[in-house]
Structure 1
C-alpha cells in the first residue's frame, strides 16, 4: 500500500513521519510553489522520491489523506476527479471555516469529486498538530464513512500510528466532527489561554 498525504502543513509531515516509522510507503503532494522551510520538509525534499505535485501524488497512491489548507482544496479536488482515482480511499483530515450554513469540507469534496470511498478522520488534531498538543497526550480521533469494508482499513490505519479510532457512524456525520474541532477552538479563545483544549470520550 502506498499512502499519499496531500498538503504542506505541520499535520501532513507529522502524520507522514509517523506512518513511515511504521514501515508504510508514504509520499507527499504539495503545491507547485511550495518552499520547504521547516527542517522536516527539507529532509523530505533531499530524499528526491517523497515530494510530488498534487495530481502525481494522488495518482501514485492507493490511499490519499488530505491535510491541506482550505484555499488549495479546489485544485486538489480537480486532481481527484481523474477517473483513474475513483477507487482510491480518500481520508479528509481538514476543517472548513465555521459557518453552519455552508456544510463542511467533506461534503464539498464528496459532491465535487464524486468519490464513494471518502472518510473523515484526524480533523480533531488541526493542521498545526502537534503544536496544539506538544506533549502528544491526545491519543484518539473520530472517524466516519459509508463503505464498511474500506472503513475497517481506515480504522486500522488510524490505529497503526497509536491513535484510538472512535467510529462516529456514516459520512453524513462529518459535519459533526468538524463542529467538535470548532468548539474546542472557541473554548480556547474564550479561555484566552496559551494552552489548547481537546475532548476525550468516556463511557460511564
Structure 2
C-alpha cells in the first residue's frame, strides 16, 4: 500500500505550541490526507478507534496486517498531522485533524468558515469526547453535494460528532447502508456495534 500525504497548510485559528521550546502558540501545520478514505485500512482504524466498533471493524474488511500498520503509521505521525477535509455549506469546511501530540493525542473536528477563526467543535480524546451535532443535522450534512466524498464516507466521518439524543427508528438501517457504501462485509453486526458504542458515549 503506497500512501501519499498531500501538501502542508494551516487552518487559521487552529493552534498548537511551537517547537522547540513549546512556549509560543502558533497556527498548527497540518497535511492534506483526503486520499486515505480510499483504503479499507483507514475505515478499520476509524471505526475501531474514534467510533469504538471493535472487534466488528476488524472482520469487516480484507486488510493485511502490513497495510493496517502502514495506515496507523500515517494517521499517528507526530511530525505530519494528517487532515481529512469535508466540505460543508458554501465555503465552509470541516477539517478532521489527527492531533498527534505526545501524551495529548486526539481527533479534532475543526469548523473553518471564511472570515472567522477556526473552531474546534468536537474532540475525541483517549478519555472522552465532546459533541456538536444532532442526528438530523448529521443526515443533512452527509447529504450535501460533494464531488470528493460519497454520502457514506461523509456520514461515517462525521459520526463521532453526535451528541446525546434519541436516534431515529431507521438509524440502524441508515448505518447499514453507510457500511455498504464503504465496502464493509458484516454490515449488520457493524451497524449494531456502532449504535452500542454511540449509546455508551451519549448517556
- Give the alignment's TM-score, normalised by structure 2: 0.28
More strand by share: 2
